[in-house]
């Protein structure tokens, strides 16, 4: 049996050692891609060492030193592709979601979005290239939704 003082020393050695900070390397390529690593940067990347401080929970926040301001070139945002909903993108995704939640139908919604908002129609009629959804709502009210040949709400 170990003496009590030796046992407490042994337990203290088994506890994790709190680390104050680590040196992390910030690697930036010519195209602007940034990688944080402890292993080193590729030969064609710019290296900047940063000190990462992770304070223990409940401790006081460490003083943060801001990096020196650099003159970065402002690049204009280029949209490469845009989502086409098939209904001329008249409504944003948020507007469609809000209309479905409020059980409203707005021009630019698709057939599936109309059914999500109002449910399956009570009657469907077609003429030429238009499809009409007939709904019999509560209290004797009715609603008519006209869809074009692409399945988008016209009015």
pTM over 0.95: no
**pLDDT confidence of residue 138:** 79
Domain residue limits at 47 = 22-55
**pLDDT confidence of residue 8:** 63
- How far apart CA 142 and CA 121 sit, in angstroms, is 11
83-126 pLDDT tens trace: 778 888 888 889 999 999 999 999 999 999 999 999 999 999 99
Strands of 130-136's sheet in order across: 123-127, 130-136, 142-147
**pLDDT confidence of residue 95:** 92
119-146 pLDDT tens trace: 999 999 998 889 999 998 878 888 899 9
Question: How many domains would you assign to the chain?
Answer: 2
- 105 neighbors 118 (Cβ within 8 angstroms): yes
Domain-located, residue 14 = no
Encoded tokens for 85 = 């909903």
- 48 neighbors 25 (Cβ within 8 angstroms): yes
- 21 pLDDT more than 80: no
Domain-located, residue 141 = yes
In terms of DSSP bridges, do strands 130-136 and 34-37 run parallel, antiparallel, or are they unpaired?
A: unpaired
Domain-located, residue 29 = yes
Instruction: Spell out the residues 6+ positions from residue 152 whose beta carbon is closer than 8 angstroms to its own.
Output: 86, 87, 88, 107, 108, 109, 110, 111
Domain-located, residue 96 = no
Domain-located, residue 62 = no
- 29 pLDDT more than 90: no
């Amino acid at each position: 049996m170990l003496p009590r003082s030796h046992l407490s020393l042994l337990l203290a050695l088994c506890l994790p050692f709190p680390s104050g900070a680590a040196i992390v390397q910030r690697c930036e390529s010519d195209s602007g891609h940034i990688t944080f690593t402890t292993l080193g940067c590729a030969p064609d990347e710019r290296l900047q060492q940063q000190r990462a401080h992770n304070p223990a929970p409940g401790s006081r926040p460490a003083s943060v030193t801001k990096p020196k301001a650099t003159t970065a070139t402002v690049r204009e945002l280029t949209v490469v592709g845009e989502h086409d909903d098939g209904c001329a993108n008249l409504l944003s995704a948020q507007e469609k979601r809000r209309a479905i939640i409020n059980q409203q139908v707005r021009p630019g919604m698709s057939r599936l979005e109309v059914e999500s908002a109002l449910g399956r129609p009570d009657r469907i009629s077609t003429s030429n290239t238009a499809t009409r959804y007939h709904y019999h709502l509560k209290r004797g009210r009715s609603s008519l939704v006209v869809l074009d040949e692409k399945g988008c709400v016209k009015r």
